[in-house]
Amino acid sequence: MGDRHVGEKLNAFEDFDEPEDVRPVRKPATLRDQLGSLAGLLLLIGFHAFQAAQWTSHDRRPPGWDQGVQLETAWDLKAALSKGDLKGAFLNAPKPGMPPFPPLFHLSLLPVIGGADAVNGAVWVNVGYLALLAFGLWGLGRHFLGPWEGLGAAVLLTCTPEVAWLSREALVDVALTAWVVCAYWAFAACDGFRKRGPSVLVGLLFAAAMMTKWSAFSYFFPLLVPAFAALQGAGAGGLLAAAAAAFVVGGPWYLAQLPILVPRLFEAAADQAVPLWQGTAFLTYPIAMAQGLELPLFALGLIGAVVPSLRRKTEESWLLPAWFAAALVFWTVVPNRQLRYLLPGLAPLAVLAMGPYPRGVRAAACAVALVSAWNYPRGVIPHLALNAGIPLSVFKSDKPIQEDWRLPEMLKAAQGLREPGTAVSNFAFVANHPRLNGPNLNWELKRLGLPGLRVRGVNKRYTELCEFVLVKEGDLGPASVVNQLPEVRTVMLDPGRWWQRGWGEVKRFKLPDGSEAVLFQRRHPRRAPVGEGKMRIDYYEDKAFTAEGLELDLGRWDPERGVYPRAELKAARFVIRGLEVENVQAVLTGLNFFSADESNAAKVDPLSDPRLTRLDGLELRYAEVREEALAAFLTARVKGLTDASVKFSGGVASLSGVWKGKKVRVALAPTLMKDGLAAGLRSADVMGVPLPVSLFAGRLKVPFAPSSELPFKLVVPSLSIDEGALAIGR
């Protein structure tokens, strides 16, 4: 009797404050089984810690794409908290083109993010999450099968190649899987939300998953069935308690981020999109599972999922296969498919793989998994592959590597060469390599504390307004992500082409893959590109802009700095990037440009396809944008927008149109501030349904501080909206 009592109390979730219903239950495990399996669990966690120590002592590589973004986000969060900026930390600005990241994983990185080796520090954070995942699998397996089966489930999943890889990367997936598994364990213990304590725990763990990654909801669809049932019966109170707990923890962040989160998610969902019906896209995950989970878990888990006799006969026996199937369907439909996105939905396969197979089969599966995990960073046992329609594998490996990609050296070299007096120096790069890319350059920039540099990629106008350009030779990265970079590089590395008129080589860096990275800096010509003084052009048309009644007073040329110190520009009509601006008056400081025209290289006209290499400041003294001009611009620039109309009156800009088949209306009241432009949202609705404008309060700002897009000082003296025009300097 005493053994039974102690054994039950070892389950952290199943005994809170409510008595169990009177129903047939299986015989509980003995105290010996409980303690023995827990001891095995501790040994498993110790094994993973040993593996992490081996890895961190032998691997030295910069982070990859997503890893760099996660590290930079954690750095930004720590910087905001260190300044006492709680609002900035709570509303951490998202990275370009990405949805905002929930902060829980980044909060857990804070103890290591400022250290000498944050990349390997993240490995140790993941070891903690790996321990939580192993504990959750043990509890889940214990609930459905028994403590030793729970230990086997923990071994099978945590020892897979996919988890071994993810635990060594600064990615959220191991943490997310741990929270999801523990939430399901809590649900299994809450008796259909009848027990209040475990029900609250379900809500808290669901919130932890959602505060780790926004897509966590996709793994909880099966719980909607018992949730609806609970509303009709004795579990209504527990369900409401779970919902309240989840909202208190996760609701404020999601409500605050909703205006940015929703549109960004639509963009992110189409990233590298491959439609489900195209080719073998629907087989992406089965193939990836066969390789990333390896044969024992893949085979035993799938068989357990589809053969009911291999599952415990309880009323919750449907939960594990439903959990897996729902996640598989959801992530197969989502166009961007990676096995790590499905990982939290693969956890039930580990429990199903410990079903009533012969004990020797289960023991052999666990033994193979442990050997595979030991072999993964060592590669002692060769990889065994078998093509049985789907490629099966055992003993995959990925050895640690000592590689110096010299990213800090590149950035420090640029910092040391910066021209005095420049507010911001753009550092463009021509590469999208796993070890040399925008996210890890941005991360290194933050880590090194070089505030004067801004990392950016190349665009249609190549590297305009960039002081530095880094061009990688050799492999630029996977073909699916480099796009036009090979053609761009060809132009840049050819001294006879137009690009090297504006930038010259200053340093080379040898890279571990045998290639070199070439650092260029913009040139400082001693001769003026078009002389000095005034010029007038009645009509000018180029690839970048069109001007009518153009008057340009370039002033004198400074041969020491290679710039026009002060130039004045006037134009009756100016069209740039499709936006028509009238009566333009501006002052440009620190100006230099050259021509990208190659049609007649012997007699190049500097005003033919001009490219700016430098602009220190821009003061807009006067300019007007008419209602019809902005409407035409929005129709051309905003994808999916039609029938756009704009009205300027009484300090308010009202915009309406049809966006992707839905009628939208927005009313903004722009206010000029010392450091930028704030656009107060007066009203907004979609298909006649008003949006809560309070969610957008303080979020719509256009800063005037120098940035990678506008690397110069911008001065706007005044702003008014009335009489059908938005006017600067009226």
pLDDT digits (tens, 9 = 90+) for 621-652: 999 999 999 999 999 888 888 899 999 999 99
Strand segments (E) across 561-640 = 564-576, 579-595, 610-614, 617-626
**If you average pLDDT over residues 17-28, what whole number do you get?**
46
Whether the per-residue pLDDT at 25 is higher than 80: the answer is no
Q: Express each pLDDT in 229-244 by its tens digit.
A: 998 888 899 999 999 9
Q: What is the pLDDT of residue 309?
A: 64
Residue 603: band (very low, low, confident or very high) from pLDDT cuts 50, 70, 90: low
Contact 565, 554 (CB under 8 A): no
As a whole number of angstroms, the distance between CA 370 and CA 368 comes to: 6
Across residues 666-695, what is the average pLDDT?
84
Nearest to 194 by CA among 318, 314, 14, 25: 14
Phi, then psi, of 24 in degrees rounded to 5: -60, 130
The per-residue pLDDT for 88 is: 83
- Model confidence at 2, pLDDT cuts 50, 70, 90, reads very low
DSSP per residue over 314-382, as a string?
STTTTHHHHHHHHHHHHHHHSSS--HHHHHHHHHHHHHHTTSSS-HHHHHHHHHHHHHHHHHTTT--SP
Per-residue pLDDT at 13 = 43
Amino acid at 504: G
- How many whole angstroms separate alpha carbon 54 and alpha carbon 379? 13
Pairwise CA distance, residues 147 & 153, whole Å: 10
pLDDT of residue 18: 40
Comparing 249-253, 500-504, 600-604, the range with the smallest average pLDDT is 600-604
Task: Say if CB 181 and CB 133 are below 8 A apart.
Answer: yes
Residues 205/182, Cβ–Cβ less than 8 Å: yes
The pairing of strands 617-626 and 725-728 is antiparallel
Rounded Cα distance between 125 and 107, Å, is 11
* Residue range 578-587: mean pLDDT, rounded: 94
Higher pLDDT, 114 or 265: 114
Give residue 262's pLDDT.
67
Q: Taking 70 as the threshold, does the pLDDT of residue 417 lie above it?
A: yes
> How confident is the model over 309-362, as pLDDT tens digits?
655 545 677 899 999 999 999 999 887 789 999 999 999 999 999 988 899 999
pLDDT in tens, 366-381: 999 999 999 999 999 9
pLDDT at 601 over 80: no
Residue 176's Cβ-side half-sphere holds a number of Cα atoms within 13 Å equal to 28
SS (HEC) of 463-497:
CCCCCEEEEECCCCCCHHHHCCHHHHHHHHHCCCC
| Rounded Cα gap, residues 211 and 254, in angstroms | 9
pLDDT at 23 over 50: no
* pLDDT tens per residue across span 129-138: 999 999 999 9
Q: How confident is the model at residue 612 (pLDDT cuts 50, 70, 90)?
A: very high
How many residues belong to the chain?
A: 730
Angstrom distances, CA of residue 526 to CA of 470, 531, 557, 589? 24, 11, 9, 17
Q: What is the mean pLDDT of residues 191-218?
A: 95
Q: How far apart are the two ends of the chain, measured CA to CA in Å?
A: 88
Distances (CA, A) of 74 to 57, 80, 209, 708: 23, 10, 17, 21
Checking if the pLDDT of 268 tops 70, the result is no
Mean pLDDT, rounded, for 404-433: 94
Provide the pLDDT for residue 263. 64
Q: Is the confidence at residue 11, as pLDDT, over 50?
A: no
**Residue 93 backbone zone (phi > 0: left; psi -120 to 50: alpha; other: beta):** beta
Check pLDDT > 70 for residue 545: yes
Euclidean distance between CA atoms 714 and 308, whole angstroms: 68
Q: What are 128-178's pLDDT values in tens digits?
A: 999 999 999 999 999 999 999 999 999 999 999 999 999 999 999 999 999
- Residue range 44-80, pLDDT digits in tens: 999 999 999 999 999 999 999 999 999 999 999 999 9
pLDDT at position 280: 64
Smallest Cα–Cα separation from 178: which of 24, 45, 17, 287? 45
pTM: 0.88
| Token reading at 140 | 């889940």
Asked if pLDDT for residue 480 goes beyond 90, the answer is no
Q: How far is CA 80 from CA 25, 259, 696, in A?
A: 52, 21, 21
Using alpha carbons only, give the angle 174, 176, 180 rounded to the nearest 5 degrees. Answer: 115
Q: What is the mean pLDDT of residues 428-433?
A: 96
For residue 695, pLDDT over 80 is answered with no
pLDDT for the residue numbered 681 = 83
Judged against a pLDDT cut of 50, whether residue 4 lies above it is answered with: no
Considering only 109-123, 310-324, 578-592, which range has the smallest mean pLDDT?
Answer: 310-324
Cβ-contact 257, 91 below 8 angstroms: yes
Domains in the chain: ranges and CATH: 2-27+44-394 (no CATH), 417-522 (3.40.190), 526-615 (no CATH), 626-730 (no CATH)
Query: Token pair for residue 716?
Result: 């706007």
How would residue 401 be classed by pLDDT, with cut points 50, 70 and 90? very high
Radius of gyration, alpha carbons of the chain: 30
Band the pLDDT of 506: cuts 50, 70, 90: very high
- For the ranges 87-101, 114-128, 707-721, the lowest mean pLDDT is seen at 87-101
**Neighbouring-strand partners of residue 668:** 653, 681
Q: For residue 108, which of 139, 70, 137, 134 has the smallest C-alpha distance?
A: 70
What crossing angle do the helices spanning 284-292 and 319-333 adopt, rounded to 10°? 120
Q: What pLDDT score was predicted for residue 194?
A: 93
The whole-number average pLDDT for the span 720-727 is: 91
Q: Report the half-sphere exposure of 721 (CA within 13 A, side-chain side).
A: 18
Residue 730 pLDDT: 65
Task: Please state, in angstroms and rounded to a whole number, the distance separating the CA atoms of residues 105 and 174.
Answer: 10
- Local confidence band at 103 (pLDDT 50, 70, 90 cut-offs): very high
What confidence category does residue 699 fall into, taking pLDDT thresholds of 50, 70 and 90?
Answer: low
